[in-house]
Structure 1
């Protein structure tokens, strides 16, 4: 919106209310466009004869200009690629995966079938060779953002993130495996079916003293609304459990809070 030489708090407040109402409606782009178009015409604006997206209103010698355009169907949002189909919506970060593979030099590597080796848990490795802290943290941050659509790498990324203070070569090696896994599975994402029941189902689990640094247990969980995955977690418990039963109870309590 361009308002040269004009300040009308009442008018701006009305526009704010309309925009807020439109945001809350979550309507299709065409409905958004038509609703705002009706509002502008009802409030004394004249539509441009050449540029149909330009609206003009004159008041007390001042001119108010509003530029409006329909951007069409949402396809990209904050690094997330959105593909809308008749039966649902698919969300992925394929382009972002390609960007980080290129950024950190992993475009030509062998692929891996899993993001982490199951038989080689991460250890503190005090005697191991140190690596560049800034590089390690940069890779970790890139992976953390990728977990917004890739729950399959959540556990491995969170495990590597625990060693950001003093990373070693062994920790960076696990990071490289995640890159190799992404190289082989770049297009995985989340599928949200249009027609699905609204039953809320939650799953949770916990290991016992799985963290080698402090012997704390790790919680894993996910929540589904019908067939739609809406939330997932992987984090260490804040306390040291005295038994597997206690660790499971803490995990169940955490999942219950997430559901609420």
Structure 2
């Protein structure tokens, strides 16, 4: 090992450290991939995904070059390590890598058009904020048009700082919104418990970790120690959340959908709602000049 001074660059991540906080982004990489796929002069758009119709297999669509499509998805996947705002759109397009059509390619290009207008966006970690562990869990019921499986979305925070996020199609087919939310809660719980174990190594001990969910039914299922006949069909591996609620490791709280931060990871959203959530997740757009000013500030 060698001491190379303060970290400014790591595996494509640009790290700007200043007295006020740390800014992590991948603006150089964004410019690089926009140039690689001939999108550097495209018109920017406000969101990475249109609301109107959800993607499907598009059996009768015109096929496109699958190698190029997969290459574009791979490039975007690498970008998601500092850009939670494109996670859902990228993961959704990634489901159609086997037989991509023009419809799918158009959606991928839309993500690039969104990036064109948000090159300098990244995660801003302020210096003065707490270190409490919290989680947000959400689900989009039967969101997949091909399999009718739901999409789980999760976000985990340390204080006000977003440190972990996910958007994933559920393995099982949920029979109700409550069940989809319950499965998503379990996934979020597993991630929070893993983070809790990791943080123990650094001397932080957490109990009664709050997880916020916008489904009262899912919370009721989790807090009821009796296995109800209506929940027996849910895979056993999702029921471990009940134990942790009983033990007091985690606590579940209801949050209105308006304030559900994980909403961003489950579906396409209107511009205003999208921008509100991006801001609440701690993402900012800081140009190189603004970063210079920050570095000089006290």
Q: Deviations over 1:151-176 (max 9, x none)?
A: 00000000000000010100000001
Match of 1:150 among 71, 83, 91: 83
- Which residue does 1:218 correspond to in 2? 151
RMSD: 1.0
- Which residue does 1:99 correspond to in 2? 32
- Which residue does 1:234 correspond to in 2? 167
Mark the runs of 5 or more structure 1 residues left unpaired by the alignment: 1-18, 20-67
Distance (Å, rounded) in 1 between the aligned partners of 2:129 and 2:117: 30
Choose 1 or 2 for highest CA Rg.
Answer: 1
Match of 1:124 among 49, 54, 57: 57
After superposition, residues 40-189 of structure 1 pair within 5 angstroms as 71-189=4-122
After superposition, residues 174-213 of structure 1 pair within 5 angstroms as 174-213=107-146
Could you list the structure 1 runs, at least 4 aligned residues long, displaced by more than 4 angstroms after superposition: none
- The alignment partner of 2:54 has SS state of coil
Distance (Å, rounded) in 1 between the aligned partners of 2:169 and 2:147: 10
* Count of residues paired in the alignment: 193
Distance (Å, rounded) in 2 between the aligned partners of 1:245 and 1:220: 14
Deviation at 1:233, TM superposition (A): 0.3
TM-score by length of 2: 0.63
Q: Deviations over 1:203-236 (max 9, x none)?
A: 1110111111211000111000001111000001
Deviation at 1:202, TM superposition (A): 0.8
Mark the runs of 5 or more structure 2 residues left unpaired by the alignment: 194-298
Distance (Å, rounded) in 1 between the aligned partners of 2:180 and 2:31: 38
Q: Deviations over 1:16-72 (max 9, x none)?
A: xxx5xxxxxxxxxxxxxxxxxxxxxxxxxxxxxxxxxxxxxxxxxxxxxxxx7x533
Deviation at 1:87, TM superposition (A): 1.8
- The alignment partner of 1:233 has SS state of strand
Distance (Å, rounded) in 2 between the aligned partners of 1:110 and 1:234: 27
- Which residue does 1:12 correspond to in 2? none
- Which residue does 2:186 correspond to in 1? 253
- Which residue does 1:39 correspond to in 2? none
Of structures 1 and 2, the one with the larger relative CO (CA 8 A, separation 6+) is 2
Distance (Å, rounded) in 2 between the aligned partners of 1:256 and 1:223: 10
TM-score by length of 1: 0.73
- The alignment partner of 1:234 has SS state of strand
Q: Which range moves more in the overlay, 231-240 or 206-215? A: 206-215
